[in-house]
Amino acid sequence: MRGLHPDSQTALREILAVRKAGARITFVSGNFNIVHPGHLRLLRFASECGDYLVVGVHADGHEGVMLAEDLRLAGVKANSWVQYAFILHDQPADFIRVLRPAVVVKGKEHERMDNPELHALQGYGGKLLFSSGDISFSSIDLLRDEFRHLNYSTIRQPEKYLQRHGIDTAAAADTLKKIGALKTLVLGDLIIDEYITCDALGMSQEDPTIVVTPVMQERFIGGAGIVSAHARALGAEVIYVGVCGTDATAEFAVRELEKAGVKNTLLTDEARPTTLKQRYRANSKTLLRVNHLRQNPISRDLQERIMHRVTAVIDDLDLVIFSDFNYGCLPDEMVSRLIDEFRAREIMMVADSQSSSQVGDVSRFHSMKLLTPTEREARLALQNFTDGLVVLGELLRQKARAENVFITLGAEGTLTHAGADNASGFATDRLPALNNAPRDVAGAGDALLTCASLALAAGADIWTSAYIGSMAAACQVGKVGNIPLTVEELRREILQARPFAS
């Protein structure tokens, strides 16, 4: 063992101490940046060539290494075919001369190359085998594409809905041109969404736990922040007032909002972290979500500072969007004061109050032009878990004194419940979900709220606004992560999406 790195010497002693007498050792070495299907095939093949599989993970600094050695080692150790894995600081051939494995396995692509391991093996009669099926691909590029690429072919036009309400798609698209003249204020909870894309390795050998290794992290503005960014990307002049902590997450939020062109006032609350929601994903599915947040109401001092900031801009506003996640940024008393101020100036107001893992009451946002709750949120606000959707929509409209209500139904689309000058006093219609292959539904409600509200403020009727908002949601769920919608992509879908019966 003389001349080997101390870690290699330790590995040799441990391997020889734990393997069974007479067990044939198989050895594999490599970078293992991402344990992809080709690696899994190679490791399985290697395990079948002997009794005890040893894997040397190249140390940091080795050619081609992209991830830290501890992450790469953890990924290999989690594989059930591997009996022992360690960080290899030496050349594989030097380690092989001392370990003397019965078999060394390399990828098939090495078969026609010079292999220094072969000379080491010939010194004692070991074998060098090449595994088939070791595929290679640009994993990071593929994963990044999942976040950025929108598959337009899965979005459809609600042809019958358009016919029922006499909506011309060209006229609807032209509505987007009017958004640029709107001055919009967004109030609500700032959220940062972090997507941690993982490679699923299998089950742990120690306990029944799913084992993954992180491959890539992406952060996005969420909550009222993405509502602001959507509105700005669609052309509106946007002011966002919210609350953040004193942390790196807040610094990221400020940078992203400035990059999006949003005029923001983020007031610092030292009693809370900036809300961070982490989603661990593998194979395009979310495995786990971890929330870092506080739900206590903000202090009276912060409430007064928000009121002061709003008062400074209130006379220039065309639209106010309350984007509430019930994390304490919009306490009841402050909301009531704000609504009174906006009503006195006849400023259009809309609201969404989300109750996912938390509980809220969307009806506290009274006198709105539009409310956009989910069915669950509407039922929680009314404590009504029996009546049908139409009755539910009308009861909520009356309780909140709202003009219009959209009840969002996930894969079943959206129920539009509108105040109307007819005998019944209201009218109802349903839009189906316009994207039949969603990739990430997390931002659908934010896109619907923002775009439908801007369309209303730009002069569209409630039915056209519901259509534009639903088309925006269809675009949003076609991507992973909250990426601001643009006028160009929304206009393209309104004019070019293929029809389906609805």
Averaged pLDDT, 102-114: 90
The DSSP string of 211-247 is EEEEEEEEEEEEEHHHHHHHHHHTT-EEEEEEEE-SS
Q: Which alpha helices (H) appear in 123-197, and where do they start and end?
A: 139-148, 159-164, 169-175
**What would you report as the CA-atom Rg of the chain, rounded to the nearest whole angstrom?**
29
Whether residue 104 sits in one domain with residue 245? no
Read off the pLDDT of residues 155-185 as tens digits, 9 standing for 90 and up: 999 999 999 999 999 999 999 999 999 999 9
Residue where one domain finishes, among candidates 111, 137, 163: 137
- 453 within some domain: yes
pLDDT band at 331 (very low <50, low <70, confident <90, very high): very high
Return d(Cα 231, Cα 453) in angstroms, integer. 10
CB under 8 Å to 214, separation ≥6 — which residues? 71, 196, 197, 198
C-alpha neighbours within 13 Å on the C-beta side of residue 260:
33
Averaged pLDDT, 300-324: 96
Q: At residue 399, what is the residue type?
A: K
Which two tokens mark 83? 């009996």
Averaged pLDDT, 115-130: 93
Q: At residue 223, what is the residue type?
A: G
- 124 within some domain: yes
- 224 within some domain: yes
The pLDDT value recorded for residue 346 is 97
The secondary element (H helix, E strand) that includes residue 28 is strand 25-30
Whether residue 213 sits in one domain with residue 156? yes
User: What is the pTM (predicted TM-score) of this model?
Assistant: 0.70
Whether residue 382 sits in one domain with residue 310? yes
Return d(Cα 231, Cα 118) in angstroms, integer. 63
Which two tokens mark 67? 């991830």
Read off the pLDDT of residues 447-458 as tens digits, 9 standing for 90 and up: 999 999 999 999
Read off the pLDDT of residues 142-158 as tens digits, 9 standing for 90 and up: 455 555 555 556 899 99
Whether residue 316 sits in one domain with residue 214? yes
How buried is residue 20: exposed, middle or buried, by Cβ count under 10 Å (0-12/13-18/19+)?
A: exposed
With a pLDDT cut of 90, the percent of the chain lying above it is 69
- pLDDT of 423 over the 50 cut: no
- pLDDT of 257 over the 60 cut: yes
Paired sense of beta strands 285-292 and 275-282, if any:
antiparallel
Whether residue 285 sits in one domain with residue 170? yes
Per DSSP, the three-state class of 378 is helix
Whether residue 357 sits in one domain with residue 262? yes
Whether residue 190 sits in one domain with residue 284? yes
**Nearest in space to 343 (alpha carbons), one of 402, 295, 302:** 402
Dihedral sign for Cα atoms in the order 327, 329, 331, 336? negative
Cα dihedral: 320, 321, 327, 333 (round 10): 30
Q: Which residue has the higher pLDDT, 4 or 359?
A: 4
The pLDDT value recorded for residue 161 is 93
Return d(Cα 12, Cα 262) in angstroms, integer. 59
Can you point out the beta strands (E) in 46-173?
A: 52-58, 84-88, 103-107, 127-131, 156-158
**Nearest in space to 268 (alpha carbons), one of 292, 250, 293, 253:** 250
| Total number of domains in the chain | 2
Averaged pLDDT, 278-290: 88
Whether residue 94 sits in one domain with residue 205? no
- 161 within some domain: yes
pLDDT band at 67 (very low <50, low <70, confident <90, very high): confident
The pLDDT value recorded for residue 15 is 92
Averaged pLDDT, 315-342: 96
The pLDDT value recorded for residue 38 is 73
CATH code, domain with 460: 3.40.1190.20
Average pLDDT over the chain reads 89
Return d(Cα 106, Cα 93) in angstroms, integer. 12
Whether residue 304 sits in one domain with residue 229? yes
pLDDT band at 66 (very low <50, low <70, confident <90, very high): confident
Dihedral sign for Cα atoms in the order 319, 324, 330, 331? positive
- 117 within some domain: yes
Residue where one domain finishes, among candidates 122, 137, 152: 137
- 1 within some domain: no
CATH code, domain with 15: 3.40.50.620
Whether residue 477 sits in one domain with residue 336? yes
- pLDDT of 422 over the 60 cut: no
Beta bridge partners of 263: 239
Whether residue 55 sits in one domain with residue 87? yes
**Nearest in space to 467 (alpha carbons), one of 160, 149, 151, 179:** 160
Averaged pLDDT, 311-328: 95
- 481 within some domain: yes
Q: At residue 283, what is the residue type?
A: N
Whether residue 486 sits in one domain with residue 367? yes
- pLDDT of 319 over the 60 cut: yes
The domain containing residue 99 runs over which residues?
6-137
- Are the CB atoms for 370 and 321 separated by under 8 Å? no
- 186 within some domain: yes
Averaged pLDDT, 32-60: 88
- Are the CB atoms for 386 and 405 separated by under 8 Å? no
CA distances from 179 to 152, 284, 457, 462 (A): 23, 34, 8, 16
With a pLDDT cut of 70, the percent of the chain lying above it is 92
Residue where one domain finishes, among candidates 107, 137, 167: 137
- pLDDT of 33 over the 60 cut: yes
